Amino acid sequence: MRFVLNSKIFKATVTQANVKYEGSITIDTDLCDKAGFWIGEKVLVVSNTTGVRLETYVIPGESGSGVICMNGAAAHLIKEGEEVIIMGFKLSDKPINPKIVFVNKSNKIIKIK
């Protein structure tokens, strides 16, 4: 068994950073649904802007809002306006084809692969 990429939101723009929240990443529920992320799922977030990588968990954001909000300590590392890739992984005994959601700068879906 290996951990393999299961789903990804590619080149999303961080719309908010809230240091005072307890922690996590808020993601528009439409984006979560299309990518296959579960609420509470552990995700890896990588900043294309700075190269920072961190793990956190998903909390639901308003459907259709395009919100990507870094919360808590993560907001010190990844700031509003940065471009990020959000990845979820799955334990599998065989290779899988990950679902990749491509978004524009407003975090609206432009393609799903």
> Of the listed 7, 21, 47, 57, which one is catalytic?
57
88: closest CA among 39, 44, 53, 54?
44
φ, ψ for residue 16 (rounded to 5)? -150, 155
98: closest CA among 86, 83, 84, 110?
86
Distance in angstroms (rounded) separating the CA atoms of residues 37 and 50: 24
24 is catalytic: yes
Distance in angstroms (rounded) separating the CA atoms of residues 67 and 80: 11
57 is catalytic: yes
71: closest CA among 61, 94, 85?
61
> Of the listed 21, 24, 47, 63, which one is catalytic?
24
The set of catalytic residues is 24, 57
